[in-house]
Amino acid sequence: MFPFSFEWLWDAGHIVFHGGLWYALNIIGIGMTYCIIKAVIDTSKGKGGHGHH
């Protein structure tokens, strides 16, 4: 999973596979981080809740 595990090789298989994997993980991670941070900001601005929007 990480380049420091002993079975890691810098070959096409690892680059393509883990490239795709980390790409997907990053999108998910960044997307969720964005949502959470934005929600915190929105909340602090007093948006949302109790149907007042």
* Minimum distance from residue 52 beta carbon to other proteins (Å): 9
Interface ranges with other proteins (CB under 8 A): 1, 5, 7, 9, 13-14, 17-18, 20-21, 24-25, 27-28, 31-32, 34-36, 38-40, 42-43, 46-51
* Minimum distance from residue 37 beta carbon to other proteins (Å): 9
DSSP characters for 9-40? --SHHHHHHHHHHHHHHHHHHHHHHHHHHHHH
The Cα–Cα gap between 24 and 22 comes to 5
* Minimum distance from residue 38 beta carbon to other proteins (Å): 5
Looking at residue 53, the DSSP 8-state letter turns out to be -
